[in-house]
Amino acid sequence: MKLFKAHIKKVTEATTRALEETGFDGLWIYSGHPEHHFLDDMGSPHVINPHFRWWVPVANVTSSVLHYQPGQKPTVYLYQPADFWHKVIDHSEDKWARYFDVKVIGHYSDLPKFNDWHNHAWIGGPELQPLPEINTNPKALLDHLHFSRVQKTDYEIQCIQKANQIALKGHQAARDAFYAGSSEYEIHMAYLTACQHNEYQMPYGNIVALNENSSVLHYQFQNRERLPKGQLKSFLIDAGANHHGYASDITRTYSFIDDEFAEMIKMMEDKQQQLCKLVTTGQDYIDLHIKAHHYIGEVLSEFGIVKCSVSSAVEQGLSSVFFPHGLGHYLGLQVHDVNGYIVDEHGTVKPPPENHPFLRLTGCLRENVVVTIEPGLYFIPMLLKGFVGHSDINWEKVEAFIPYGGIRIEDNVVVKKEQAINLTRTN
Ligand code: GLY
Ligand code: MN
Ligand code: MN
């Protein structure tokens, strides 16, 4: 709780500064509430407003409001209705609650009259926005808070580390299931069981891909069919876990036998680990992404996939055919944590370079920011089509690797002044 206490102190100070600098006297943050699908009385699982979760570490809260005015203890109006359809858990005595003034409410009518409070901002989704438009999700305030939220407290880093530890149990089980010949679906279920998570708790949909499915960056299915062992070539799994609302985001790739693809995975991992070590304060993330392209160029050259020099492969855009996504992103309460293009508290945007449009993070790294480092090398028929006949690509090699899909290796790293901390490898 010492870490959580320090966390709330930082959140309080950051919010006070943001309110002062953007001209508000206080703010409301709504947790959000679940809504039904069109013409239905069922809805999707509810995802709590990340601003609310920054303060309140409860997994299942809905219809609750946080109120903060600088100089006062924050208040949480915690919705705990009398409900015989659902289990209602009393969180008002939880340890986190001692840092708040918790008012349990049993009905919406018990919520305060939001408009009675002078010059307040409201942060919340479209399902409830009781204040005038100008006070609702004011951009200047959100930009300010987002810039603060990217830099993590020790409590948050501990949560992300725990989320890594949970996910690594899943990755171990998934790896074992792959080598036992399981289907994508069976691997997925083995992963969830090892993490003791249900699907609603996952920070994003598991990517569990055998063979050429590994070339689909966000492959979303889990095939129920087992592949005959003679057909099993490769396995890519991108899956995280959740601890107190914080995410991990880890990718591993395996070759079924000890072949050339296995050697390529080894070289990719070596390059990925080198990149992880460069995650120190002041590092320009665009430069790191470009460095990753040169590393991918080295792998392509080493395995005879391109015939030109590494720099020529990068300059001609060949590395982008095989590595079309960004090197990584911020990680925290959201798997792609708030706007990676904002480079100061005033919301100044630094867009990605024109030829790297999918890079999600463009600024210089600050201490205690958590990022993913996830270089990839894929054989994506759709992208390769645009280069058919290119004389610097060894098409015979490409054809041989297409059935393997591709490689991605992803760790979660804390930026430090001297030496980055790799949360995925230090457990
Ligand atoms: N799991 C999605 C990503 O790596 O960004
Ligand atoms: Mn990621
Ligand atoms: Mn991922």
Residue type, 364: C
Residue 276 in tokens:
């992880």
Locus of tokens 């890594």: 164
- The partner residues of 29 in beta bridges, in order of sequence, read 66, 123
Average pLDDT value for residue range 41-61: 95
The Å distance, Cα 420 to ligand 3 centre, comes to 19
Residue pLDDT, tens place only, 148-184: 999 999 999 999 999 999 999 999 999 999 999 999 9
CA of 27 to the centre of ligand 2 (A): 32
Ligand 1 binding pocket mutation candidate from 171, 216, 249, 412 (most atoms within 8 A of CB): 249
How far apart (Å, rounded) are the C-alpha atoms in residues 177 and 401? 23
The amino acid sitting at 40 is: D
Which atom of ligand 1 lies nearest, measured to the CA of 360?
5
Q: State the distance from the centre of ligand 2 to the C-alpha of 372, rounded, in angstroms.
A: 6
Pocket test for ligand 1, best of 251, 378, 408, 412 (most atoms within 8 A of CB): 251
Q: Whole-angstrom Cα distance, residue 204 to residue 355?
A: 27
Superfamily of domain 2-150: Creatinase/prolidase N-terminal domain (3.40.350.10)
pLDDT tens digit sequence for 230-286: 999 999 999 999 999 999 999 999 999 999 999 999 999 999 999 999 999 999 999
β-strand partners of 329: none
Q: What is the pLDDT of residues 65-77, one digit of tens each?
A: 999 999 999 999 9
Q: What is the DSSP secondary structure assignment for residue 46, as one 8-state letter?
A: P
CATH number of 154-422: 3.90.230.10
Domain extents for the chain? 2-150, 154-422
**How many other β-carbons are positioned within 10 Å of the β-carbon of residue 154?**
14
- Reduced to 3 states (helix: H, G, I; strand: E, B; else coil), residue 71 is coil
Cα-to-centroid distance, 231 and ligand 2 (Å): 28
Which ligand is closest in space to the CA of residue 358?
1
Query: Which pLDDT band holds residue 124 (cuts at 50, 70, 90)?
Result: very high
CA-closest residue to ligand 1 atom 3: 249
**pLDDT reported for residue 22:** 98
The per-residue b/e assignment along 344-362, b for 16 or more CB within 10 angstroms, e otherwise, is: ebebeebebeeebeebbbb
- CA distance linking residue 31 with residue 123, whole number of Å: 9
Q: Which amino acid is at 231?
A: Q
Strands 207-210 and 65-68: unpaired
Q: How far apart are CA 98 and CA 168, in angstroms?
A: 33
| Mode of pairing for the β-strands spanning 234-239 and 250-255 | antiparallel
Pocket, ligand 1, Cβ cutoff 6 A? 204, 238, 249, 329, 335, 374, 410
Residues 263 and 267: their CA atoms lie apart, in Å, by 6
Supply the pTM of this predicted model.
0.97
